[in-house]
Every structure is written in structure tokens, then in C-alpha cells.
Amino acid sequence: MTAVRYGMVGGGPDAFIGPVHRMAAALDGQFTLAAGAFSADEERSRQTGKELGLDPTRTYASYEEMVQAEAALSADERIEIVSIVTPNHLHFPVARMFLEAGFHVVCDKPLTTTLEDAETLCRMAVEEDRIFAVTHNYTGYPMVKEARERVRSGSLGPVRKVVVEYSQGWLATLLEAEGHKQAEWRMDPSRAGISSALGDIGSHAHNLTRYVTGLEIESLFADLGTLVSGRALEDDAAVLLHFEGGARGVLLASQISVGERNHLRLRIYGTQGGLDWNQENPDRLRLMAADGSERLLHVGSSDLSARTQAHTRLPGGHPEGFIEAFANLYRNVARTLRVRKGAAEPGPFDDDFPTVQDGARGVHFIETAVESGRRGSWISGSYQPPGLAI
């Protein structure tokens, strides 16, 4: 097996998510980092490449230089796919340029800062016949996949209620004014886009809900607030949801919930039962019956679905977490790419990763919720992204 050659844009010094992507891509030995433009600062980019052991000639001063140089290499030397881990405002221009040059793409969320740009990428991915994954990594957790199978098999009955919450407390003070790099760009509209709480963590909550239930939003009402004085973007949001088929829901996204770390929780209630999953204790899934009894499922149990078992890496009792969930997405992308190249036989879950169309749905959700908050009214949430999933 020859590892898939990938390049990275972003993920230089002081970055959080870039190193996570690199660890996840390396976990199964199916990817090898071959090139990168890790920072807008040439010296910092080259230093990162040196620390990662890259050939100095494959560490670039800019993503523009990287696209041109990599495209000029032979097919068996150039990167095959690029991983984009920059602040939000660069997702679109970087992805567009690499798609135009014929490369596959993995992009961090949100896909873009505008729906127009997201739809452009959808069309380009289809026209260029490129794989385009968006790293909503929480869908990679085994027990999220088990929740999906339980809901979609009908074991809970028709869904009536969805409650999804993503609460953090790290922005409870004006951290961006203290020179905190991650806070600075997330609260800067020119780099983050029109939203912070919803654009950053709310987009994960939205994607997780869609992935597990398969339900699309028909309409929503959003209440967005900026509770820390001096901010240009919201740091707290509550969104009421009406789903197709009549289910109701609420989505909470908060960056100022003091004491919370990474509290992502999804609860789904059907006519016959409910389930409860919490990202801070991800190896468990709580099932609730109509008579009030409960059953706790654990990763590694023999009675879990084939989809869950295919994404479980360790025997029960050995915790799997954030990086492993990321790695499940990268592994499925690698398998999909190998099948396309004729280097592997297709597997049943190769396509189990968020696509560019899923990313566009997330951008549509963000824009719709922001507009609802501005108007103070319900807005239609129905949306169909262009193109087919690739």
C-alpha cells in the first residue's frame, strides 16, 4: 500500500487544529505529508516544514506558490489532496485554486464565509470530479454512528424532539484583546465571517444533528447575543428548529458558559424511546425506553451495528477520542481515493465522511440563523445544495 500524498495549507506555529489534522491523517499510515504552506509568514512556514521533516523544496511561502509548484511535478510525486486548516476567510480561495489545479480537498469547517462561495465549491467539485471532505469530526465517533443507526433504523420511532448543545467557556472574557491568536481571528468578522458561536461550534451541532437524524430543517428562529462587551460577533446563540416531518428541536451554542470545556451533547426523542450522547464521555450512548428504564451502550460491545464496529479501533474499556474521530474521516477519504485509483476494492462505509454539500448546508444554516436573529422572526430553513455528493 502506497500512502496518499497530501499537502497542508495553514497549521503553522501556535495553531490548534492543524496539528490535530496531521495526527489524524498519520494514525492509520494511509497518508504522508509531502508539502505545505503553513503560514502567511514565509519564515514561520519554512520553520514548520523543517520541524515536520519535509523536503525544504516542498515547503512554500504561500498557497499560490504551492499550487503552482505541486501541479508542475510528475503525477507520482505531486500531492494528491490538500488539507486546508486556515482561518475561515481563506477556505474558499485556497480550495478553489487547488480544485482548479486538479487536486482533491479536505477542508476544516465552516466550509466558507458565504453561501455563494460554498455553492461555487459544490459545483467545482462536481465538475472537476474531485473528492471534497469537510471535517465535521464529531461524526467520526463510533457511538455517534451507533446513534445514527438506532435513529435511522426506526428503533426510537419517528423523531419528535431534538436537543443539541455545544457549550464552551473559553471566551467568557475579552480574550482577543489580550493577544490570544485563536480568539483574535474567531472574533474578527474579516476572518471568521458573519458569525462566531454559530459559525464555529454551532456548525458542528447542526451537522451532528443532520448526520444522526437525517432530518432537514424546515424553519428556524434564532436569538443571537454578544454578552462580552467590545465584541463584533455573537458569543451565545439559541435556535428553535422545525424539522421536516414535524419534529421540533433546539440548538444551543455558547462560548461564554463559564466552566464548560467542550460540552457537545445530543439528545433525540422518538415516539418509542430516546438516546443521549455526550462528547466529553464519547464511548457511551444512553438509550431511554418509554417506561423510564435505561440501557447504557459501550464502545466495543458485540451488539453494536456494523457501521459502529467498522469505526471502532480498540477493545471496550480503552477510550477513543477526538483524534481517532478525526482519523476515521481521513481513513474513509483515503479509502475513497484508493478505490478511484483502482488500488482498492470499495468498502461499505468508505463514503462515510461529510462532503462539500454538507459544508454548504452548514453555511446556509449559519446565514439563515444570523438573518433570523437580525429580523427577530422565523425564517424558512429549507435548502438543497447544488451538485451531487462526491
Residue-wise pLDDT for 283-341, tens only, equals 999 999 999 999 999 999 989 999 999 999 999 999 999 999 999 999 999 999 999 99
278 is written with which cell numbers?
Answer: 455526550
**Low-confidence stretches of the chain (pLDDT beneath 70):** 1, 388-390
φ, ψ of residue 369 in degrees (nearest 5): -65, -40
Q: Which of 210, 261, 258 is nearest to 365 (CA)?
A: 210
The pLDDT of residue 390 is 44
The pLDDT of residue 387 is 86
* Residue 70 included in any domain: yes
Domain count, the chain: 2
Both 310 and 208 in one domain: the answer is yes
Both 90 and 202 in one domain: the answer is no
All residues at 6 or more sequence positions from 115 whose CB lies less than 8 Å from its CB, including other chains:
360, 363, 364, 367
Q: Which domain holds residue 222?
A: 142-315
The pLDDT of residue 388 is 64
Both 80 and 99 in one domain: the answer is yes
SS3 199: helix
* Residue 375 included in any domain: no
Both 99 and 160 in one domain: the answer is no
| Type of residue found at 115 | L
* Residue 353 included in any domain: no
Residue 49, sorted as left (phi over 0), alpha (psi -120 to 50) or beta, turns out to be alpha
pTM: 0.97
Kindly report the length of the chain: 390
Domain boundary among 91, 118, 137: 137
- What is the distance between the alpha carbons of residues 114 and 121, in angstroms, rounded to a whole number? 11
Both 154 and 287 in one domain: the answer is yes
- Identify whether the C-beta of residue 90 lies closer than 8 Å to the C-beta of residue 56: no
All residues at 6 or more sequence positions from 205 whose CB lies less than 8 Å from its CB, including other chains:
164, 165, 166, 251, 252, 253, 264, 266
Both 202 and 308 in one domain: the answer is yes
Domain boundary among 137, 158, 180: 137
What's the CATH code of the domain at 116?
A: 3.40.50.720
